[in-house]
Structure 1
Amino acid sequence: MPSIQELATQAKEIANRLSIHKYDIFGSAVDETSVKVDQGKPDQVKASQRSSVTVRVWNEENSMGVTSTTDVDPNGLELALKTAYEASFFGVKENVPDFSPEATAPLAQQISEKTPQVPVSDLLDRLIVAEKEVKDAHPAIASVPYNGLAQRDIDHFYLNSDGAVRTEAYSTASIYLYSKTEEAGKKPRSAGAFRMSRGIETLDIAGCLQETIDKTLSHLNYDKIQTGKYRVVFSPEAFLNLLGAFSNLFNAQNILDKQSLSTPESLGTQIASPLLSVCDDALHPDNVSIATFDGEGTPTRRLALITDGVLTSFLHSAGTAKRFNTQPTGHANIGAKVSVSPHFYHVFPGKPAEQVYSLDSAENVVLIDDLHALHAGVQALQGSFSLPFDGWLINHGKRTSIEAATVAGDFLDVLRSIIYVENEAHLTPSGVCSYVWVEGLSITGE
C-alpha cells in the first residue's frame, strides 16, 4: 500500500482529472498471523494481509455515492472514484452525509508504534506450552479444544478533498484458552480466559492459563440452583457484554431510526442507579486497540455516557450530530451507510455507596462470570434478556458452581437495581469495568 501522502496526492490528481470536487477516503490494513494447537501439535496456522478502502464522492447536486476496493494503485483508485461518482446520482436526497466539521481538527495524540512480530514457530511453541500446562493442572482436564495465539499490525487512514490527512498504526497480540473436563458420572465442564496486549513479549500468557485452570477447577463440584430471585454480581466481562447488547441506548443513529431504548428527550434523565457511571474512552491507556479518529476523521475522546445514573451523552457521527444540533463524538463507521458504534467502555462507581458489599462475606449471592447466547437471548428493542450463564452460588466465601441456569430481566431495571459498584477496575476485551452488584434478578435453575 502506498504511503498516506502518496495516496492523498494521487487522489487529488485523479479527482481533478475526473472533475470531482468533493470526496473522502477511509482505509485500513491488517497484517495478521495466528496459530491454534491440538494435543501438543500444530492444528492451524494462518497468515493474512487484509486491506479495504472506502471511497465517498459527492456530485454537483450534493448527492453522495460510495464504493469500496482493495486496490489502491492509481488505476484502482481512479476506478473507485469514478464508480462512487456514478453511484452518487442514485444516492439519498435527504440527510445526505457530509464531511465531519472536525475532520481537520488536531488529534489529542498520535499513534504510530508497531511491535516487531515474532516467528510463527515461536507462537506455536508458546501456545503448545500453555495448552500442556492447562491439561497437566488436573486429571479431570481432558483437553483445551479452543485456543489461539495471534499477533497483528493495524493501519488506519483518512483523507478528504478539504485537506484532511489522518493516519495511525499500532500492533496487538492476543491469546485465548478454553478447557474442557471429562469425569466419570459427571457432566463436562468448561472455562476459559482471554488476554490482549500491544505485543507478544508483553502478553500475559501465564495469567491467562492460570485463570483458565482456576475457573475450570472451580466448576468441577457443581450443583443445581433453586429457581428464584437472587442478589446477582456481574463480573466485569459479563456486565460489559450485557451493556454492549443494549448499546442502542446510547446510539444516536439507532435513536433516529427508532431502534433504541432511548429517545432524543432521554438525555438528562435518570436511567440508572446513581452509583453507576459509564464512559466510552477510545483513548483509555488500557485500550490496546486504540483509535485516535473514526471513519469520518473525527478525533476520538473520552465521552461520558452515564454520570451518576443520568444519561449524559449519545454516540454521534457527523450526520447524526447535525440532526441533533450537536458535535460529532468520533464514533462513525463509513460504508454504504454511516453507522455508529462504541469504542472502549469504562464502567466505574458514581456516587458513593451507603453500604459496601464483599464476595467474601456475601450470603446466597449469584456471581455471573460469563453470559452465553447473547445473539438469541437478547431482545434489544424491548430491553429484555434471558441468557444462560456460567457462575457460582456464593455463601460466606464458599463458591459452588451452578450446574445450569439462566438469568432473565429487563436491562433498564437492572441499571436501576444496582446496589454497589466495586472500586477495583478490571481490564476486559471490550473495556475496563468493576464488579457490579444488582438486587433481585430472576434465576431459573435446570
Structure 2
Amino acid sequence: MLNTQEIANYAQSSAKELGINQYDIYGSSIDETSVEVDSGEPKQVQASNRSSVIVRVWNEQQTVGVTTTTDLDEPGIKLALKTAKEASFFGNKDNLPEFSPEAKNPINQPSHSLVEPSPVPQLIETLIKAEKTLLEAHPAIKSVPYNGLSQEDIARFYLNSEGAIRQEARSYASIYLYSRTEEEGKKPRGASSVKISRSLSDLDIDGCLKEVTSKTISHINYQPIPSGKYRVVFSPKAFLSLIGAFSNLFNAQNILDKQSLSSPDSLGTQIASPLLCLCDDALHPDNIGAETFDDEGTPTRRVELITNGILKGLLHSTGTAKRMNAQPTGNANIGAKVTVSSHFYHVFGSEETPQALTLDTAENVILIDSLQALHAGVNALQGSFSLPFDGWLVNQGQLTSIDAATIAGDYLELLKSIIYIEPESEVTPRGVCPRVWVDQLSVTGE
C-alpha cells in the first residue's frame, strides 16, 4: 500500500528543484477483487489496482494549477508538479483556493486496519452458494441476473508544502443480489439487497438472502392501485435516496453557485417538519467507509444539517467556509474545481413525539421500498420529482404489491408533510435512517 512519508519526501525535493513554494497532493489507491456468477458457474472475476493522485500548485500570483496522475513514484509526482505549475498561469483568479486551516489539526483515528483478503475461490464458492439458496427459495424465482461479491483495500493520503501529512487505510467487503421471477401470464418481478462489512467473515450474507427473498416473494401477487392522494411510508433506502437527490439544499458550493433550493439566508429557517433531524456524520460507528479527512486534509466530523425541521448547518469546503464566514466541515473534493459532497447521513426523529403510527393498524397506506429513475425524474433546482417506485399497499399489516405506480410532488412540501418518524433505524450504505411517514402525496397508478 501507500508510503505517504516517502511520497512527501520526494514531492518536497522535486518542488524545491522546480522552484515551487506552495503545493498540496491528495491521492488514493484501491486494491479490489470482485466476482459474479451465473447458474452456478463463475461469470466474471476481476482484480485491479487503481491509483489516483491530484496535485495543486500555487504560483507567485497565487493562481492555482491542477493536474492528475496515476503514477505514485518520484518521476510521476515530479512530472505532475511541473505540469501543475505550468497550468497555474492559466488558473482562475476568482475565489482562489487556499490550504485548509485545519489540515494540521489532530485526528482521532478510528481503530480500523486492513484485513487479509479472502482467496478468489472462496469468493466464488460463497456467491454460488448464495445464488443457489436464492433460486431454491421459491419456484417463481428463476434467475439472479445481477449479483456480485467484492472486497477492497483503500488507502488515502493528503500532504502539503506546509508540512501537513495525513493517511488512512481500510478494508471492506460487499455483496449484492438481485432476483427475478418468471410466471406465465404475469410480469417479471424483482428485488435486491446490498450488505457491507469490514471483511468477508463479518458479511451478513444470510441477512441479504432473507431480505431479497422476502421482498421478491411479496411482489409476486401484484395489483394495480387507483391514482390519488395517499399517506406514504418511505423505507430508509427510499428516503435517503430522496435526500441525496436534493442534497443541494445544504451544499454550500451549490448555494454560492445559485444552484440550490436554499440561499445564504435560509440558515435558521424552518424547512421541514419539526419532527425531522438530519446530520452528515462521516465518523458514525455504522459507517463502514468512514473517512477521517477530506481531500483538503480537513478532519471530518458530525455536521448538524436539520434540527427539529430548522436548517442548522451546511456542508463546506475551505473556500465556501471562507466566503460564508463559517468553518470547513471536511466535505471537500478537490479537482479542477473544489466541490462539496456528503459522507454518511443520519436521519432521526426529534424529541417531539406524536402519536405512534404502525403498519399493523394503518389502512390504505403505501409503503415505498425503493425509488427508480432518480437520474431522470428529479428536478433538483425546482424541487420537483416524479418517480416510479417499488412498494406495497398496506392494510392492517397485510402487504399487497403494487403493479406499477409513480409518486410525484415537491420536495420541500414533502419535508414539511412528515407526520411520523419511527424510532427504529436501519443501516444502509448511504446512512442510518428509520421509516418516515408522509401525509397526502400524489400517486399515479395504472
C-alpha distance in 1 between matches for 2:120 and 2:262:
47
Secondary structure (helix, strand or coil) at the match of 1:86 reads helix
Secondary structure (helix, strand or coil) at the match of 1:62 reads coil
C-alpha distance in 2 between matches for 1:403 and 1:216:
13
Preserved CA contact (<8 Å) 2:275 2:419: yes
C-alpha distance in 2 between matches for 1:74 and 1:125:
41
Tell me how far 1:17 sits from its aligned partner: 1.0
Structure 1 stretches lacking a partner, 5+ long: none
Secondary structure (helix, strand or coil) at the match of 2:33 reads strand
| Number of residue pairs matched by the alignment | 446
Q: Give deviations 1:186-238, integer Å, cap 9, x for gaps.
A: 11110111100011000000100111110000001110001000000000000
Q: Which residue of 2 aligns with 1:9?
A: 9
C-alpha distance in 2 between matches for 1:3 and 1:115:
18
Equivalent position amino acid for 1:377 in 2 = G
C-alpha distance in 2 between matches for 1:236 and 1:112:
26
Q: How does 1:21-170 map to 2 (within 5 A)?
A: 21-110=21-110, 113-170=113-170
Which stretches of structure 1, 4 residues or longer, exceed 4 Å deviation after superposition?
A: none
Preserved CA contact (<8 Å) 1:389 1:404: yes
The share of aligned pairs that are identical, in percent, is 65
Secondary structure (helix, strand or coil) at the match of 2:366 reads strand
C-alpha distance in 2 between matches for 1:265 and 1:98:
25
C-alpha distance in 1 between matches for 2:337 and 2:277:
31
Tell me how far 1:111 sits from its aligned partner: 5.3
Q: Which residue of 2 aligns with 1:202?
A: 202
Tell me how far 1:340 sits from its aligned partner: 0.2
Tell me how far 1:2 sits from its aligned partner: 5.1
Secondary structure (helix, strand or coil) at the match of 1:376 reads coil
C-alpha distance in 2 between matches for 1:357 and 1:109:
40
Q: Give deviations 1:287-323, integer Å, cap 9, x for gaps.
A: 0001000000000000100000000001000000000
Equivalent position amino acid for 2:197 in 1 = S
Preserved CA contact (<8 Å) 1:353 1:419: no
C-alpha distance in 1 between matches for 2:233 and 2:72:
50
Q: Which residue of 2 aligns with 1:348?
A: 348
Equivalent position amino acid for 1:354 in 2 = P
Q: Which residue of 2 aligns with 1:415?
A: 415
Q: Which residue of 2 aligns with 1:404?
A: 404
C-alpha distance in 1 between matches for 2:112 and 2:179:
36
Tell me how far 1:352 sits from its aligned partner: 2.1
Equivalent position amino acid for 2:383 in 1 = G
Q: How does 1:37-436 map to 2 (within 5 A)?
A: 37-110=37-110, 113-436=113-436
The TM-score normalised by the length of structure 2 is: 0.99
Preserved CA contact (<8 Å) 2:2 2:29: no
Preserved CA contact (<8 Å) 1:276 1:351: no
From the superposition, tell whether residues 30 and 191 of structure 1 become closer, same or farther in structure 2 (CA, over 3 Å).
Answer: same
Tell me how far 1:112 sits from its aligned partner: 5.0
Tell me how far 1:115 sits from its aligned partner: 1.0
Preserved CA contact (<8 Å) 2:67 2:84: yes
Q: Give deviations 1:62-100, integer Å, cap 9, x for gaps.
A: 000000001121111111000000100000111011100
Structure 2 stretches lacking a partner, 5+ long: none
Q: Give deviations 1:243-270, integer Å, cap 9, x for gaps.
A: 0000000100000110000000000000
The TM-score normalised by the length of structure 1 is: 0.99
Tell me how far 1:354 sits from its aligned partner: 2.0
C-alpha distance in 2 between matches for 1:111 and 1:162:
27
RMSD: 0.8
C-alpha distance in 1 between matches for 2:420 and 2:46:
44
Tell me how far 1:351 sits from its aligned partner: 3.2
